[in-house]
């Protein structure tokens, strides 16, 4: 039995070493280790495994070492099952005089490195396979190449920067130094000169910030190009003919946005190829061309970027989705739903209409993983367009000015109930002083305000934060009209103090989860700090409260 176990593991190890030499058939080696059959609940872990098997993540020494470590663990497991895990039977796995757990601890540590930042070595050292098990087991332990840390393969570790951009940055830094010297040497005797110097300093800092933001821009081509190989591999694996078209890959976005889009796009493309497109026979019956079409497109409109994955497959069946939603308790059976509302059930946690889980897409992780990644990381959203029998399109929208929830932003500084709060200017439409006759209280307790003929919901920030407003007369208060998407509302505050740039920093603890208040973080303004209002979360909180009130009234 011992020889049979060793022979089985040696065959897998030989396959891994062949992959290390050629760089080909990584997926077969991962399949041989049984890693593709693991039930994983994290979309992120699934994505990094998929990117390895599809060739998006380059194979390195650490991954090879970790795969060999998995072989060691499997060998110990099989020895334990056969009752031969003792000093005699495991002689080929341990050095004389060493503890039985020492090699295993080393291999577990090495295997964990495969899911951390990969490291590169000056020389590729892969343990050689020998005929003797003992020599073969000692070799991986002895092989420890010199390694240097680098960022994870999913991250963009380097950016090409034009030399003229660097020259402009150096020039602006020089201007900063000169302006600082003028202020330092002039003192406070000449206030006019100090004022002019501070104005110049503010101008230089703004230009420097713009240049640095421009340097961080990365073309989407960096993540779109590997998708060709992914889609081609998937189509060959499941036997579907398709044309893959990429548009707009020259669009440049911030580095953090591009990095965060990788995993959601892999998930959407896998779903489009596996679930969206019909097979050749199904397309013939639907009167379509044998070859399907999958399009990955990107474009910018205003202050938002859009990335779309579109296919000309069978589309989404609203009736089937609604029945499934009712079955899972996500929808009410006697309620009428719009088509968009029905399609959005697909984005709910645990929702799936797939008849079976395949090794290509799904695997128990639904579209909610994609949506949560986009919403939590990028403050974006996912919308669905579908026509039954003609295809579906999933569009990711990312507000570019909203991608910097931490950093230097323009903001309004307001006072409410004796406290100071910050409202990011990116959401602000205007500041308005309401008149008494423009404010209307609705039967359900909500208030609206008429702003130049346009009616908005009126949200009293003091009530939401459980504060006592200093300004009782609404005619003396000020309303900050904000817009999030297509929805507008007016936030009532005691007074808007000023507009200035602030540095927004997130909390080190999850404050918003503990207190359930719409706070984005705190803003540093130089002389003091203040909490930053998350207007999007505030509007969502208000809408949820309205819906809860309606449901309560319906039950009474």
| In the block, residue with structure tokens 């420097």 | 208
User: Above 90 in pLDDT, residue 246?
Assistant: yes
pLDDT computed for residue 129 by the predictor: 40
CA angle 363, 364, 366 (to 5 degrees): 105
Q: Which residues of 232-245 are buried (b: 16+ CB within 10 A; e: fewer)?
A: ebbbeeeebebebe
pLDDT digits 0-9 by tens, 83-121: 766 543 434 433 333 333 333 333 333 333 333 333 333
Instruction: Give the domain ranges of the chain.
Output: 1-38, 42-76, 163-217, 219-399, 407-554
Check whether domain 407-554 has CATH 2.40.50.180, yes or no: yes
Question: Going by C-beta distance under 8 Å and a sequence separation of 6 or more, which residues neighbour residue 381?
Answer: 371, 374, 375, 396, 397
Grade residue 305 by pLDDT with cuts at 50, 70 and 90: very high
Q: Where are any strands of DSSP class E within 257-405?
A: 292-301, 304-311, 381-387, 391-399
Higher local confidence (pLDDT), 404 or 436: 436
Lowest mean pLDDT among 38-47, 285-294, 329-338, 381-390: 38-47
CATH number for 219-399 (one of 3.30.565.10, 3.40.920.10, 3.40.50.720, 1.10.3720.10): it is: 3.30.565.10
Rg (alpha carbons) of the chain, rounded to whole number:
30
β-sheet bridge partners, residue 420: 415
pLDDT digits 0-9 by tens, 176-224: 888 888 887 777 677 787 888 888 888 888 888 888 888 888 889 888 8
pLDDT digits 0-9 by tens, 51-67: 887 777 777 777 888 88
Q: Which residues of 458-479 are buried (b: 16+ CB within 10 A; e: fewer)?
A: bbbbbebbebebebeebeebbb
CA angle 512, 347, 57 (to 5 degrees): 90
pLDDT computed for residue 354 by the predictor: 59
Higher local confidence (pLDDT), 304 or 484: 304
pLDDT digits 0-9 by tens, 247-280: 999 998 888 888 888 888 988 998 899 888 998 8
DSSP string, 68-111: HHHHHHHHHHHHHHTT--STTTTGGGS-TTS-TTHHHHHHHHHH
Grade residue 36 by pLDDT with cuts at 50, 70 and 90: confident
Kindly report the average pLDDT of the chain as a whole number: 77
Q: What is the dihedral of CA 459, 464, 467, 472, to 10 degrees?
A: 20
pLDDT computed for residue 350 by the predictor: 66
pLDDT computed for residue 144 by the predictor: 39
**Residue ranges in 413-529 assigned as alpha helix (H):** 461-464, 511-515
Residues 226, 220: Cα–Cα separation, whole Å:
11
pLDDT computed for residue 463 by the predictor: 86
The tokens for 214 are 């421009």
Total-model pTM: 0.54
Helix (H, G, I), strand (E, B) or coil at 362: coil
pLDDT digits 0-9 by tens, 352-362: 665 555 555 54
């Amino acid at each position: 039995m011992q020889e049979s176990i060793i022979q089985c593991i040696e065959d897998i190890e030989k396959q891994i070493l062949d992959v290390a030499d050629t760089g080909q058939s990584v997926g077969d080696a991962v399949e041989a280790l049984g890693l593709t059959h693991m039930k994983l609940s994290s979309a992120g872990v699934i994505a990094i495994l998929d990117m390895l098997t599809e060739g998006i993540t380059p194979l390195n020494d650490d991954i090879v070492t970790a795969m060999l470590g998995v072989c060691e663990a499997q060998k110990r497991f099989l020895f334990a099952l056969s009752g031969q895990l003792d000093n005699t039977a495991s002689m080929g796995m341990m050095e004389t005089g060493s503890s039985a757990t020492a090699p295993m601890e080393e291999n577990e540590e090495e295997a964990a490195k495969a899911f951390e930042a990969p490291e590169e070595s000056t020389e590729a050292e892969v343990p050689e396979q020998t005929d003797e098990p003992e020599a073969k087991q000692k070799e991986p332990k002895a092989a420890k190449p010199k390694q240097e840390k680098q960022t994870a393969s999913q991250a963009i570790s380097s950016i090409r920067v034009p030399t003229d951009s660097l020259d402009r940055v150096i020039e602006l830094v020089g201007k900063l130094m000169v302006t600082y010297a003028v202020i330092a040497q002039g003192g406070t005797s000449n206030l006019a000169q100090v004022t002019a110097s501070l104005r110049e300093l503010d101008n230089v800092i703004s230009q420097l910030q713009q240049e640095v933001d421009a340097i961080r821009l990365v073309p989407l081509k960096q993540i779109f190009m590997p998708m060709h190989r992914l889609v081609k591999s998937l189509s060959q694996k499941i036997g579907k003919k398709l044309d893959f078209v990429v548009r707009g890959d020259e669009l440049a976005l911030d580095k953090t946005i591009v990095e965060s889009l990788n995993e959601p796009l892999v998930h959407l493309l896998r779903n489009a190829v596996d679930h969206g497109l019909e097979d050749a026979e199904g397309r013939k019956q639907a009167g379509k061309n044998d070859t399907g079409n999958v399009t990955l497109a990107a474009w910018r409109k205003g202050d938002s970027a859009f990335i779309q994955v579109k296919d000309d497959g069978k589309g989404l069946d609203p009736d089937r989705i609604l029945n499934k939603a009712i079955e899972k308790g996500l929808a009410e059976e006697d309620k009428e739903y719009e088509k968009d509302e029905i399609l959005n059930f697909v984005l709910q946690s645990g929702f799936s209409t797939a008849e079976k889980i395949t090794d290509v897409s799904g695997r128990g992780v639904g579209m909610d993983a994609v949506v949560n990644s986009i919403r939590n990381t990028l403050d974006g959203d996912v919308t669905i367009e579908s026509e039954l029998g003609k295809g579906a399109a999933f569009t990711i929208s990312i507000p570019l000015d909203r991608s910097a929830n931490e950093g230097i932003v323009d903001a309004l500084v307001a006072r409410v109930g004796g406290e100071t709060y910050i409202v990011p200017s990116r959401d602000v439409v205007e500041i308005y002083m309401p008149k008494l006759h423009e404010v209307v209280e609705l039967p359900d307790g909500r208030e609206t305000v008429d702003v130049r003929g346009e009616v908005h919901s009126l949200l009293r920030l003091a009530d939401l934060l459980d504060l006592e407003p200093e300004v009782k007369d609404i005619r003396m208060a000020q309303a900050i009209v904000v817009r999030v998407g297509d929805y507008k509302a007016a936030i009532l505050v005691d007074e808007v103090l000023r507009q200035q740039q602030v540095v927004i920093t997130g909390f080190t603890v999850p404050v918003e989860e503990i207190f359930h208040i719409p706070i984005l973080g705190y803003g540093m303004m130089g002389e003091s700090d203040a909490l930053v209002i998350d207007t999007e979360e505030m509007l969502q909180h208000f809408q949820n409260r309205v819906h809860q009130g309606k449901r309560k009234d319906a039950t009474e």
